[in-house]
Each structure stands twice: as structure tokens, then as C-alpha cells.
Amino acid sequence: MGNTLKTVFFMTLLTILFILLGGMLGGRTGMMFAFIFALGMNFFSYWFSDKLVLSMYRAKEVTEAEAPELYSIVRNLAQKGGLPMPKVYIMQNPAPNAFATGRNPKHAAVAVTTGILQLLNREELEGVIGHELAHVHGRDILIGTIAATFAGAIMMLADWARWAMIFGGNRDEEDNPLGAVGAIIAMIIAPIAALLVQMAISRSREYLADQRGAALCGNPLALASALKKISYGVESMPMDAKPATAHMFIMNPLSGRSLMNLFSTHPPVEERIKRLERMAYGG
């Protein structure tokens, strides 16, 4: 299954989970309230995510005179991809990493650490920037926000149902045909299922950004080499990053390897490299 189809499949699955489990845990009224509440929170995040994240990591916007090589790479690849020129930022951080943010291509920003600039050669950096611009082109901030809205609403409903049960609240059998046992099972399963699907969407978008980014820079092996270097760099020097923003980076900044791939926002780096090598050699 292609990565685009996987994203569609997982988004549909998340919607179905919300409707089925949401109806069981909160009924129609609770389901709508949770959805509107989650939508409001994530709408704010979507609209202001660029300013919040860039400020969080103290990223400084740079001009072409201040970072000529980086600026020229971003500009050339943006033009090649038919994208508006994004703002360019540098984070004073020795850990090698990069991310893109912005609610749409017209309001995009690409940020890299000083560590990644020192670690990678020009071709590898082009692969990384291509990957980030692929996220911009694919409107991954929007897709991630929609996924977070549904997942957040499911988790909220599970919390409300748990508190209602603790304080003796009960619901009509018509609303929850499986009764108390079904509600307890749903309270346990719903948040885990929502998180798993949300993480699966994030991983699918990473694979797709690798593929599109490699095609944009024209050198899949350069991106594969960059990922290998970044992985080693992150393992030896994890970044002081917020878990809520880890999915935005090209590599999980908290650790080079995930303890549980199912709950990871990023695919295994070994698999990402293998796919890029197959792409380079026509496999």
C-alpha cells in the first residue's frame, strides 16, 4: 500500500474509531462536545504552531547574507518544487536535526540546528531540506492537526467516562449496549487505539516525505547518508526537546532509537535508509 493511501486509510480508521468509541463513551452530545473542544485546541495549535515552536527552540531567522549556502539550498529546492520561498531559521544547538512548520506553503518556515550544518555536506543537507519541503508541500501540519483533533477527542471522552464512573454517573443502556463492562474496555482501548493510529499516520508521512524529498533533491543516497549521520548524532547527543513536538523533526530528537516502534512518531531509520537505497537503485 502506497504511503498516501496509508494516510487516507489511517485517517479513515481514526474517524471510525472516534464515531464508534466516542458514541459508546460519551453518547452523541458528549461526542460532539469533545470534538468541538479538541478542534478548538488544535485549531489554535495549527494557526500559531510556527511561532510557538520556533520560539520554543529559540530559532533565529537568517538572511541570505548570514547563511548563504543554506539559504541558496532552500531557495533552489523551493523553486524546483514550485513552492513559495519559506523563511529560514537556525537553532543554536549542537544536536543534528531539522524541522519545517507553518500552516500552509505560503506561511512556511524551515529550521535547522547548527549541529546539522556542521555534520552534513552540501548534498546531504539538500536531502534534508528536500525532506522538509516535502512536508510543506504535503500540508503535513494540517494532516497532523486533523489527526490530533480526533485522537484528542477520543482521549478526552475516555477521561470523562472514567471520572463519571468513579463518581457514580451512569448512562442509559441504549447509549452503551455493552453496559459497564463494555465501557471499561472501551476506556482502556480507545486512547491506546487512537494513539497508535495517530503515530501510524505520522510514520506514513515521514516515509512519504523521504520519497518526495529524495526526488526533489535528485539524490536518494544523499538523504540516506544524512539520515544515518543524524541518527548517530542524535544517539550520542539527544536534543532537549519537548515530546509534543518530537514528530516535527526529521529524526526523533529525544533518542536515536525508539523503545517501541508502534508508539514512535518516526519509522525505524534502518527501514527509511533501505527504502531510499531501493529508490536510488531502482529496486
Per-residue confidence (pLDDT) for residue 276, from 0 to 100: 97
Q: Which residue has the cell 516525505?
A: 209
Cell of 277: 537505497
Domain boundaries, the chain: 3-281
**Residues ≥6 apart with Cβ < 8 Å to 267:** 203, 206, 207, 261
pTM of the complete model:
0.80
Residue 139 has pLDDT above 50, yes or no: yes
**Residues ≥6 apart with Cβ < 8 Å to 49:** 101, 102, 103, 141
Query: Under a CB-based contact definition with an 8 Å cutoff, are residues 75 and 231 in contact?
Result: no
Q: Which of 22-31, 154-163, 235-244 has the lowest mean pLDDT?
A: 22-31
Q: List residues bridging with 98 in a β-sheet.
A: 112
Q: How far apart are CA 109 and CA 101, in angstroms?
A: 5
Residue 172 has pLDDT above 60, yes or no: no
Question: With bands split at pLDDT 50, 70 and 90, how would you rate the model's confidence at 259?
Answer: very low
pLDDT in tens, 69-109: 999 999 999 999 999 999 999 999 999 999 999 888 999 99
Residue 89 DSSP code: E
26 vs 175, more confident: 26
Share of the chain above pLDDT 90, in %: 43
Residue 118 has pLDDT above 90, yes or no: yes
pLDDT in tens, 151-165: 777 877 777 777 766
Residue 173 has pLDDT above 60, yes or no: no
Q: What are the φ/ψ torsions at residue 90 (nearest 5 degrees)?
A: -125, 135
Question: With bands split at pLDDT 50, 70 and 90, how would you rate the model's confidence at 255?
Answer: low
Per-residue confidence (pLDDT) for residue 257, from 0 to 100: 47
**Amino acid identity, position 44:** F
Which residues have a catalytic role annotated?
132
Per-residue confidence (pLDDT) for residue 223, from 0 to 100: 98
